[in-house]
Structure 1
Amino acid sequence: MNLGLRWKLYGDGSAPPPGEVVRPQERLSWGRTAGLGAQHVIAMFGATFVFPVIMGLDPNLAIMMSGVATILFLLIVQGRVPSYLGTSASFVAAAAVISPEGANPAVLTGAILVAGVVLALSGVAIHLLGPRAVLAAFPPAVTGAVVMLIGFNLAPVVAENYWPFDQWVGLLTMAFVILATVLLRGFLGRITILLGLVFGFVLSWVFDQAFGAAPLPEGQGGGAAPRVDLGAVGDAAWIGLPDFHAPVFETSAILVALPAVIALIAENAGHVKAVQEMTGDDLNPYMGRAIFADGLATSLASSVGGSPTTTYAENIGVMAATRVYSTAAYYVAALVAILFGLCPKFGELVAATPAGVLGGITVVLYGMIGLLGAKIWVENRVDFGNPIVLVPLAAGLIAGIGGVSLHITEGFSLEGIALGTIIILAGYHVLYRLAPASMRPAPAPDGIEDGHDASDSGAGVVLGSGVDTRDDTAAPSGGVGTETGKERREGGGQVT
C-alpha cells in the first residue's frame, strides 16, 4: 500500500530554479528539507497555540497533537495533498458558549470529538459521491453565512472577557497587528498574529515597570494584578507530558459545536483546491480523503483533551513562496511540533499571555473569521436579490448573532450558532425546493473545475474558504487572506 513515505531526490537536492517546482513525492537534501520544515513550524505556530489559549485548552497538547494529526493526515491522503493540520478557529465560538474562560474543557472536547466524527463521515460521503456533493449540500450562500455567524458571534467574548483587563494594551496590540498585516511582506506578513503576541507581551512588561500592576475589571474581585506573571514558567519542567483529560458528552454542547463542521468542510475543500491549483495535480479524488482525515484527526486530538484541527493556509502560503510541495518537509515539521509539545515550560509561557494582549489579538481574529464569510459570498457572486438566498440567511444571522433562544424542553434549548445554522441551512433548502424553477439560484454548471462565467449566479458556484478563487487576472486587493491563482503560482500574496 502506497502511504507516500518514499521521496525521490529532486535534482542534486538543491532549491529549484525559477519556474520549477519540487513535487509532493520529491524532496530536497535532508538539510534543506529540515530548514523547510522549520519554516512550516513557524508558519503554523502562532495560530496553533493562540487558539487553544482562547478556548481554555492546553497549548502544549495542541502543539503536540497538531504534529500527530499532520502525520495521520498525510498517511490517509497517501502524501498527495501536502498540508499541515494546526488548531482550528472554527470552534472558538462554541468554546465561548460551552466552556467560558476554560470552565468546562472536558465538555468542550467531548462536543468537538462528536463534530470530528461527523466531519469524518462527511468525508466518507464526499469520497463516495464526489466533490459536487459538497456544493449541493452547502452552497457558498449557506457556507458564507455560517462562517460569518461563527465569527461575529464572538464579539461579546472580546468585549466582556478580554478587553476590560487592559484596554490600552489591547488597543496598541490591535493596532500593531493591523499595521503589521498591511506593511510587512512575504513570510513576516503571514505570522503577524505571532508577532503581535510577542509585541503585546513585551508591551505588557513595559507597562508593569512604568505604571505598576493593572486594575482588575469589575467582577474580578477588585484590586490589581501584574500584567505579566511568569512564576509558573520558572516552576515548570523542561521535559514532560502535557495535561491530558477525557472528554465528557452533553447534547446541548454537541449541538453548539456541530455548525463548525460546515465551515471545516468548506475550509478543507478550499485548501485542497488551492494545492491542486499550485501543483497542477488532479486532487478531486482526494478531497473526501482530506476531509475524512481532518475529521479523524480532530476526533483523535479531542479524545485526549487536545484542540480541533484543520488544514492551514499559512503553510500553503509557505509552499507558494518556496515552490517546494514536498511532504517530507511536513513530516519534519510534525516531528518538531511533537517535541515542542513535550516541553511544559513552553506551555506555561504561552499560558502566561496577558488578557489585554489576547483582547487586542482576538478583536482582529474574530472579525477576520466573520469577514471570511463575506469573502465567500463575494468571490462566488452570491445573488442577494434572490429571496431564496436573502431571507433565510438574514433570519439565521440575526437569530444567531443576537442570541435568540428557542426553548424545546425545560432543560434544553437551541440558541446562538446552533439555532442560526439550523435556520440558514433548513430555510435555504426548504425554500429552494418550494420555489418555482424560475426563482431558484442557478446550479453549478458542468465543468465547474474549468472555471465559471458571468452567467453564474444565485447561491454561488465555487465552494471554498477564500483561497480557491479562479480569476487569474484579478488584481490583489492587498488585504489579509487575499490571493489570486496567478499569485499562488508566482509565490506572492498572503494567505490566512
Structure 2
Amino acid sequence: MAGKGFGRWTVHGDGRGLAPGAVVAPDERLSWPATIGIGAQHVVAMFGATFLVPLLTGFPPATTLFFSAIGTVLFLIITAGRVPSYLGSSFALIAPITAATASDGMSSALGGVVAVGALLAIVGLVVHFAGARWIDIVMPPIVTGAIVALIGLNLAPTAWTNVQAAPFTALVTIAAIVLITVLFRGILGRLSILLGVLVGYATAWIRDEVDTSKIGEAAWFGLPEFTTPTFEPALLGLFLPVVLVLVAENVGHVKSVSAMTGQNLDDVTGRALFADGLSTVLAGAGGGSGTTTYAENIGVMAATRVYSTAAYLVAAVVAFALSMSPKFGEVIATIPTGVLGGAATVLYGMIGTLGVRIWVQNRVDFSDPVNLNTAAIAIVIGIANYTWVIGETRFEGIALGSAAAIIIYHVMRQIARARGTSQEAASPASAPAGTELNRGEPQH
C-alpha cells in the first residue's frame, strides 16, 4: 500500500463515531475535534519521558521538546505518512550524554548526539537503497518480537518507581483507564488513557499532591535555549554504539505498526531510520536530546486502534506550543508522578504485549529450543536491565537484550543446522500483512 502521502487523510466513516473493533488507518482521520483528543493522548504519553531525559542529563527541557516536535513532523513527511510515530527523547543516550557532559561539557555531548544521528541516517539510506531484507534476515520475528517486548518490559521499573510516589493515585488512574475502556463506546472508550489521567489528576488535586507554585512565575511566551555542538573524537566511542539501540527501536516500531495495522511497511523502514537520524542530528545541532520512535505512543495506538498520522501532527503542534510557552509547560509538568506511574503501567505493559503479538501473528514455534532460548534470555536481560561497562562505555538492558536476541538466535540456528538438530522451516522475516492472517493461511 503506497499511501496517499502525509497531509491527505480520508475521513473514517462519519468522522464522529467508531464501530466496535473498527480501526482508523494511518491515511485516515476522525473529525478534527476527535483527532485533537487522540493527539492529546499522544502528548500525555510522550510528555513525561520526553521531559525526563533532559532533566536527567541537564539539557533544557523546552529545547528538547521543540526538536521533538520538529523531528516528528519531519518523520511523518519523510515516511509519507505511512508510519504513525512520535519522536521523543531517547533513553539510550542518557548514559553517554551524562558522561560526556561531566568530562567535556554540554556542547561536546551535543556533538556526540549529532554523530549518532548522522550514522543512523546513513544506515537508513543503506536500508532504503539496498533493501531491508538484510535486516529481516538478521532480525526474524522471534528476534523482533523479543526486542519489542523487552523495550516495553525494560520500562516497567520506571513505572513502578512512579507508582510508589503515590500508590493510591496511581491505582485510581489505572482503574479509571480500565473502567472507561469498557464502560464507554466509540471515541470516549478510545480516549481512556487521557480521561484516566484526568481522573488521576483530579484525585491527586484532592489529595494535595499537585504543586502549582511554578506556574505563576513562568512567562506565557519564550524561545527555547539553543546551544551549538562541539566535536570531541575521543567521545565517539561513548555514543556510536547507541545506534544499534536506535536501529532496533525503529525497526521494532515499524514492525509493531505493521502488525497492528495489517500493512506491510518493510519498504519504508529505511525512511524511518533516516528520518530519526535526521531528527537526532537537528536536535544535537541546537541543544536538544537525541530522538527515537516512541514506544509509549505505541501503547496509545494499541489502546485506541487509531493509527492516524493526523493525530501525531496534532501532538507535534501541541509539543511545539509547549516549547514556546513556559507557563503552559509548567501546567503540564504539574501532572503528579503517581498519575504518570498509573498511565505508564498500562502503556508499558501494552508495549511488551505487542512483542508477543508479533510472535503469535508469525506463528513462532516455541517448541524449537532456538526460539525459546532467544526470547527467554533476551527478555530477562531487558527486564533486569543487565549492564556491561567497557571503559567509559555503558551498555544497558535494551542494547544488551537486543544484541543477545540477535547473537543467540543466529549462533544457535547455525549450529543446529550444522548438527542436524533442528528441522524447523525458516520463519518469515517480516510481520505478514493482515489479509494473510485473516484468511488463516499458513506462513512459510
Contact kept in structure 2, 1:126 and 1:288, CA below 8 Å: yes
Which residue of structure 2 aligns with residue 49 of structure 1? 47
Computing the radius of gyration from Cα coordinates, the structure with the larger value is 1
Which residue of structure 2 aligns with residue 143 of structure 1? 144
Which residue of structure 2 aligns with residue 308 of structure 1? 291
- TM superposition shift of 1:139: 1.0
How many angstroms apart in 2 are the aligned matches of 1:290 and 1:155?
Answer: 26
Match of 1:68 among 67, 70, 76: 70
- TM superposition shift of 1:415: 4.5
How many angstroms apart in 2 are the aligned matches of 1:284 and 1:330?
Answer: 21
Alignment partner of 1:290 is 2:272: yes
Alignment partner of 1:426 is 2:417: no
Q: 1:270 to 1:134 in 2, by over 3 A?
A: farther
Q: 1:115 to 1:146 in 2, by over 3 A?
A: farther
Which residue of structure 2 aligns with residue 169 of structure 1? 169
Alignment partner of 1:259 is 2:242: no
How many angstroms apart in 1 are the aligned matches of 2:272 and 2:360?
Answer: 26
Q: How do residues 7-406 of structure 1 correspond to structure 2 at under 5 angstroms?
A: 38=36, 41-57=39-55, 60-61=62-63, 63-77=65-79, 79=80, 81-82=81-82, 84-88=84-88, 91-92=90-91, 94=92, 116-159=117-160, 161-208=161-208, 227-244=209-226, 251-252=237-238, 255=241, 258-271=244-257, 277=263, 285-301=267-283, 303=285, 304-306=287-289, 308-310=291-293, 334-335=316-317, 337-406=319-388
Contact kept in structure 1, 2:35 and 2:311, CA below 8 Å: yes
Contact kept in structure 1, 2:181 and 2:192, CA below 8 Å: yes
How many angstroms apart in 2 are the aligned matches of 1:164 and 1:75?
Answer: 40
Offset from partner CA, 1:308-359 (integer Å, 9 cap, x none): 243866897999879xx7x889767755653343111111112222122222
Aligned residue for 1:235, secondary structure, equals coil
Q: TM-score, normalised by structure 1?
A: 0.67
The residue type equivalent to 1:42 in the other structure is A
CA RMSD of aligned residues (A): 4.6
The residue type equivalent to 2:74 in the other structure is L
Aligned residue for 2:86, secondary structure, equals strand
- TM superposition shift of 1:74: 4.3
Contact kept in structure 2, 1:85 and 1:309, CA below 8 Å: no
- TM superposition shift of 1:404: 4.1
Contact kept in structure 2, 1:67 and 1:337, CA below 8 Å: yes
- TM superposition shift of 1:173: 1.6
Contact kept in structure 2, 1:149 and 1:400, CA below 8 Å: yes
Which residue of structure 2 aligns with residue 483 of structure 1? none
Aligned residue for 2:168, secondary structure, equals helix
How many angstroms apart in 1 are the aligned matches of 2:68 and 2:280?
Answer: 9
The residue type equivalent to 1:242 in the other structure is P
How many angstroms apart in 2 are the aligned matches of 1:175 and 1:23?
Answer: 28
How many angstroms apart in 2 are the aligned matches of 1:440 and 1:113?
Answer: 45
Contact kept in structure 1, 2:34 and 2:187, CA below 8 Å: no
The residue type equivalent to 1:144 in the other structure is G
Aligned residue for 1:72, secondary structure, equals helix
How many angstroms apart in 2 are the aligned matches of 1:60 and 1:427?
Answer: 41
- TM superposition shift of 1:288: 2.3
Aligned residue for 1:472, secondary structure, equals helix
Contact kept in structure 1, 2:229 and 2:284, CA below 8 Å: yes
The residue type equivalent to 1:472 in the other structure is N
Which residue of structure 2 aligns with residue 455 of structure 1? none
Which residue of structure 2 aligns with residue 463 of structure 1? 431
- TM superposition shift of 1:430: 1.9
Which residue of structure 2 aligns with residue 214 of structure 1? none
User: What fraction of aligned residue pairs are identical, expressed as a percent?
Assistant: 34
Offset from partner CA, 1:123-180 (integer Å, 9 cap, x none): 2222122243332121111112122222222333333x32332221122222222323
Match of 1:436 among 410, 417, 430: 417
Q: 5+ unaligned residues in a row in structure 1: which ranges? A: 209-226, 445-459, 475-496
Offset from partner CA, 1:427-476 (integer Å, 9 cap, x none): 212222232265264335xxxxxxxxxxxxxxx54338xx96843368xx
Q: 5+ unaligned residues in a row in structure 2: which ranges? A: 19-23
Q: 1:234 to 1:95 in 2, by over 3 A?
A: farther
- TM superposition shift of 1:59: 6.2
The residue type equivalent to 1:179 in the other structure is L
- TM superposition shift of 1:48: 2.9
Contact kept in structure 1, 2:256 and 2:354, CA below 8 Å: no
Aligned residue for 1:145, secondary structure, equals helix
Offset from partner CA, 1:179-206 (integer Å, 9 cap, x none): 2334444333443332232222211110
Match of 1:472 among 422, 426, 438: 438
Contact kept in structure 2, 1:118 and 1:261, CA below 8 Å: no
Larger CA deviation: 179-188 vs 167-176: 179-188
How many angstroms apart in 1 are the aligned matches of 2:352 and 2:241?
Answer: 20
How many angstroms apart in 1 are the aligned matches of 2:9 and 2:400?
Answer: 51
State the aligned residue count. 414
- TM superposition shift of 1:86: 1.6
The residue type equivalent to 1:426 in the other structure is I
How many angstroms apart in 1 are the aligned matches of 2:210 and 2:9?
Answer: 49
Offset from partner CA, 1:211-240 (integer Å, 9 cap, x none): xxxxxxxxxxxxxxxx21111111111111
Offset from partner CA, 1:255-297 (integer Å, 9 cap, x none): 46742431321212443686784xxxx9665442233223322
How many angstroms apart in 2 are the aligned matches of 1:108 and 1:40?
Answer: 35
- Name the structure, 1 or 2, with higher relative contact order (CA <8 Å, separation 6+): 2
Match of 1:416 among 392, 397, 405: 397
The residue type equivalent to 1:44 in the other structure is H
How many angstroms apart in 2 are the aligned matches of 1:125 and 1:76?
Answer: 15
Contact kept in structure 1, 2:378 and 2:401, CA below 8 Å: yes
Aligned residue for 1:463, secondary structure, equals coil
